[in-house]
Amino acid sequence: MPYQIVVCGSLVPDPLQTLEPVQGPAGPALKNEMMLPAWLDPWAGHALYEAAHLARQQPGSQVTLVSLGPKAKLQQVMMTVAQKVPFAWVALDGAAGGFTDPAETAAALAEAISALPGLNPAQLLVFGGWESATRGAGVTLQTVAERLGIPDVFLGVDELKVLPDGALEVLERIEAGRHLISRCAGPPAVLGWATGNLPEPKNNPQIGMANMRGVLPALQKARPVQIGAAGVTFASVTLPKQLRQTRTVKDASPDQIAAELIAWFKS
């Protein structure tokens, strides 16, 4: 059966850049945030590639990427992402930093998904990142599912199979490095992806040209949304302190090393 796959994915600063938190007039932010190069959130990227792979396996399926972030940054990111896989795009113009309320983010995303034309819950699969390089609250996708009335939520997904009877078999990460195999009767469902099993697709200029026909109009129609952290006060924002203590010891037994490490942890 064809699926309507909606991927929730936003942008993050380039991880190779130095990120320095500062206290701005509107609350905490990153120093020179608008000047930092941006990229699609890595976890959301895995979700997008898995969605495109599933759409190729199920003829008639559609992939829609819903992104929330500043319009200028979204345009910068889409110039590259559009060359990876085919998708339709819905843009929301709002804050994309790490100092935002996941409930407000989820509300904006759920509203945008509900407004998609021809949305059929019986074919709806909502994908997203299990984690995020900026919005690592761990509750955004669950809140989106609650607002959409979807009870089946899977997190830490590494693999999704469509069984012959139309059911979905989901491979989820659980504790102790193990996986849980779950079976879902079918859509609607929400899946938060981990790394998946697919590599990053190569750039394809033909796919990019086809996607850009819809990207630029979507950017012009981007609806402004207010995303912040109303009622939340940050006492301070600082980088974690780095601590390194190195000592070279020869001919120490494993038991001695372990005992010393335990003593160091306890201190």
Statement: residue 160 has pLDDT above 80: yes
In a domain, 266, yes or no: no
Q: How confident is the model at residue 10 (pLDDT cuts 50, 70, 90)?
A: confident
In a domain, 262, yes or no: no
pLDDT the model gives residue 230 = 63
- Cα distance from N-terminal residue to C-terminal residue, the chain: 58
Statement: residue 163 has pLDDT above 90: yes
CATH code assigned at 95: 3.40.50.620
From start to end of the chain, where are the E strands? 4-8, 11-13, 21-24, 27-30, 38-40, 62-69, 88-93, 124-129, 153-162, 168-173, 179-184, 189-193, 223-224
pLDDT the model gives residue 138 = 74
Q: How confident is the model at residue 231 (pLDDT cuts 50, 70, 90)?
A: low
In a domain, 196, yes or no: yes
pLDDT the model gives residue 51 = 92
Q: How confident is the model at residue 50 (pLDDT cuts 50, 70, 90)?
A: very high
Choose the weakest-confidence range: 31-35, 48-52, 75-79, 106-110. Answer: 31-35
pLDDT the model gives residue 26 = 66
Q: What does the alpha-carbon distance between residue 130 and residue 194 come to, in Å, rounded to a whole number?
A: 5
Average pLDDT over residues 40-44: 85
Choose among 132, 155, 126, 139: nearest CA to 51. 126
Mean pLDDT of all residues in the chain? 85
12 in Cβ contact with 102 (< 8 Å):
no
Domain count, the chain: 1
106 in Cβ contact with 143 (< 8 Å):
yes
State what percent of residues in the chain have pLDDT above 90.
28
pLDDT the model gives residue 70 = 85
In a domain, 259, yes or no: no
Statement: residue 24 has pLDDT above 80: no
Q: Give residues with Cβ within 8 angstroms of 85, minimum separation 6.
A: 48, 49, 51, 52, 63, 201, 207
Choose among 33, 9, 6, 8: nearest CA to 19. 33
In a domain, 253, yes or no: no
Choose the weakest-confidence range: 77-91, 126-140, 156-170, 250-264. Answer: 126-140
Q: What are phi and psi of 58, to 5 degrees?
A: -115, 95
In a domain, 214, yes or no: yes
Q: In terms of residue numbers, what domain contains 216?
A: 4-224
Q: Are strands 88-93 and 62-69 parallel, antiparallel or unpaired?
A: parallel
In a domain, 71, yes or no: yes
**Which pTM does this prediction carry?**
0.81
- pLDDT top residue among 22 and 225: 225
In a domain, 229, yes or no: no
The alpha carbons of the chain give a radius of gyration, in whole angstroms, of 21
Q: How confident is the model at residue 168 (pLDDT cuts 50, 70, 90)?
A: very high
Statement: residue 217 has pLDDT above 90: no
Q: What is the DSSP letter of 92?
A: E
